[in-house]
Chains A and B, each alone.
Chain A
């Protein structure tokens, strides 16, 4: 949690180089920490979606049609479920993928910069049929899209 707060201060102060270098000089941050944040243990080890969202700093989320989440209706193999997330929300800076009923809800989170399109495709594991959620951050706000994916155990095609 302490690391998260530090990170937030860094992000807020990203416009002012002075504040950042002051932090580095004060030994609060290693120079590399300004680029790659430490693994967000609180968010990734959260057992359910609300706790994971809290770990990501997303207190409240608004539904958005501009956030496109593509998952299959039925996944015959829960070990490899293709997920595509495309954010058409202006100024999207990060996208997270969550699975409600997985032992730990948060699958991945990606931050985008320097021309990266806020879009990601990945393959995730799903323990059972569940809602899959995509959460995008734009400015200070968080947006959410969700879709159910049925996981058929045994690969019989359901």
Chain B
């Protein structure tokens, strides 16, 4: 089970800034370990963000996203108190869902 995400959602004027830090190895499948064996690919493939019950961002990612991914998004029409739900699923079927509140 992956570690929780860190999610920060803050109103800046009329725009909500959402920053997400995910905890994931993001193995490309090209790296070799000390014994020379290829480390199998293990990476996040799908990311969704819901704010106030509505799907805001629907993303897909490949192996070229850095380890422990950081993403930043912005949205209009959100207000303080709205619930932010972020989900990810990786290529091995591991998943994680975390919540935050727009401040």
Interface residues of A (CB under 8 A from B): 35-37, 39-40, 44, 79-81, 84, 99, 102-104, 106-117, 119-126
| A-B contact number at CB 8 A | 112
B77 at the interface (CB under 8 A from A): yes
Question: Would you call A119 and B73 a contact (CB within 8 A)?
Answer: yes
Question: Would you call B66 and A115 a contact (CB within 8 A)?
Answer: no
Question: Would you call B55 and A35 a contact (CB within 8 A)?
Answer: yes
Pick 18 A–B contacts, CB within 8 A, sort by A.
Answer: A39-B46, A39-B60, A79-B66, A103-B30, A110-B59, A110-B60, A111-B57, A111-B59, A113-B55, A114-B54, A115-B75, A116-B73, A117-B76, A122-B69, A123-B65, A124-B66, A125-B28, A126-B64
Question: Would you call A120 and B66 a contact (CB within 8 A)?
Answer: no
Question: Would you call B66 and A123 a contact (CB within 8 A)?
Answer: yes
B contacts with A, residue count (CB < 8 A): 35
Question: Would you call A102 and B56 a contact (CB within 8 A)?
Answer: no
B42 at the interface (CB under 8 A from A): no
Question: Would you call B64 and A99 a contact (CB within 8 A)?
Answer: yes
Question: Closest CB-CB distance, A138 to chain B, in whole Å?
Answer: 17
